[in-house]
Structure 1
Amino acid sequence: MINEIKFPDSIKLLKSKGFRNIGLDFGALKNYSIEEVKQFIHENEVNPVSLEVAGILKKSYTAWVEDVRHGISVCSELGINKLLIIASPMGCDSFATSLLHLKKGLNEVLPLAEKNNITLLIEPLHPIYSHLSIFTKFSTALELVKEIEHPCLGLVLDFFHVWWDNDIFSIIPQSIPYLGAVHISDWGKEKQNLLDRDLIGEGIIPISNLLKCINTSGYKGLYEIEILSDFWSSRKEDLLGIIREELEVLEEILL
């Protein structure tokens, strides 16, 4: 989806540029009824492949569980089988306590996810977002997913959040059975704000090497290009044209 413009306009613009498989922004849908969202999707013949993200900025256990449950419900209504979630600290003052709350919360929501055939994908975040997620290393989130070992629980590998980790190339192969989505963007040499995600090749992330590692390790799932940038906010049509070219480059790397 394209942020900063209304949901219907975002869908129409994506369709006009030939994009059919898209990720939906959970927050952007909250101003519309499920029936309205279904209509926008049907009229524009797009295919939502994921909903992201639930559980972010939730300062209590109850709020986190309610948000994830709501996300599961929306996914079920829209026929989406992947819900991205954030392991919020839930207002706790220690990692250990937050982790206990997270395990309890997952035990509560996973039966509902399984009933609706929806996979919950935990997305670890870069350490600069430690106030938003207790998982700031991919390996720590992987340990939890392995421990719980539930068919409806997996991980997101987001290049923007994991590139800095010297161990990531050795961790990727063991994560493949749990990997449900890969997000691709670049870390700019001169970041304007914490959210800026640059076009592929314009930053310092070893994108080609990461893609080859994921591909040769056996990953067959979703790849999503995720660009957030103040610079491109007023040049959305140009940005989509460039992303279309980037997709062709990525396909060549993955051959």
Structure 2
Amino acid sequence: MDPARLSLNQITVNTLGLPEALDACVRHDVGAIALWRDKIAAVGLDRAVELVAASGVRVSSVCRGGMFTTGDPADVLADNRRAVDEAAALGADALVLVCGPLTDHDLAGARARVRDGIAALLPHALAAGVPLAIEPLHPMMITERSVVVSLRQALDLCDDLGEGVGVVVDAYHVWWDPDLDAQLARARGRVRGYHVSDWLPRTSDLLLDRGMVGEGVIDLPRLSAAVAATGYDGPVEVEVLSSRWWAEDPDEVVRTARKRFEEFV
């Protein structure tokens, strides 16, 4: 894939703060970055905006909004509105929504809370000009992060909610789905982000054992072609949540991510 489309998801170099992550992007000629809200908060939003502007690096997304199944709905909505405002201030292409876990036995109710939470947030996002991007997660994350566990579910929400809501296709979370090709065809014009990493054959942790691009079993070239067929031509984020890679020198991680991106994506 064209290296100009590479975006470094900040979690891939999680040991770095925002200034250092932006510096790494500049040093390695990475034109975009996906920012995490805790890293933004660490320097303050105003300073984050200044740093991004000075770097010349594009913000492909802000992660994350969502978590609609946890806490008081009014508090959750207020935090999500702040997330929209942060994404708008930073000129992000989208706010990623990780929708929230199952916290009791009522799965249908949890999914209804997700739908209602996005619906309540949507007017604020539309007014701010920030697309909301629902990221379906692998089913193993249903009690940890999200009750939206397939691209079909995410697109059903898009159908229901209408303008201003799209999806993130994360290779790690959707590669296994036997319905994936049909759902990607259905997603045409609604993909707001594409994330790549790899699934290790003997993954050892539900969250923190993703493979670097090209070291696992996902057919990334095929998936990338299918995502391109949806019309998505924006930044592609290398997003590797891995305690193993976090222990490496961040410069080497970025060098490896760039090389593998060019070879395998």
* Pairing 1:174–2:186 present: yes
Match of 2:27 in 1: 16
TM normalised by structure 1 equals 0.90
Q: Which has the higher contact order (CA 8 A, sep 6+)?
A: 2
Using a 3 Å threshold, how does the CA distance of structure 1 residues 183 and 134 change in structure 2: closer, same or farther? same
TM-aligned CA deviation for residue 125 of structure 1:
0.6
Match of 2:3 in 1: none
- The residue type equivalent to 1:173 in the other structure is A
Counterparts of 1:108-147 in structure 2 under 5 Å?
Answer: 108-131=120-143, 132-147=145-160
SS of residue in 2 equivalent to 1:118: coil
Distance 1:128 1:211 in 2: 23
- Length, aligned pairs only: 250
Match of 1:4 in 2: 15
TM-aligned CA deviation for residue 168 of structure 1:
0.8
Match of 1:155 in 2: 167
Counterparts of 1:50-129 in structure 2 under 5 Å?
Answer: 50-56=61-67, 59-60=70-71, 61-89=73-101, 91=103, 93-129=105-141
TM normalised by structure 2 equals 0.87
Q: Which runs of 5+ in 2 are unaligned?
A: 1-9
Match of 2:232 in 1: 219
Answer yes or no: is the 8 Å Cα contact 1:89–1:95 preserved in 2.
Answer: no
Distance 2:47 2:227 in 1: 37
Match of 1:228 in 2: 241
Distance 2:111 2:48 in 1: 34
Using a 3 Å threshold, how does the CA distance of structure 1 residues 217 and 102 change in structure 2: closer, same or farther? closer
SS of residue in 2 equivalent to 1:104: helix
Q: Which runs of 5+ in 1 are unaligned?
A: none
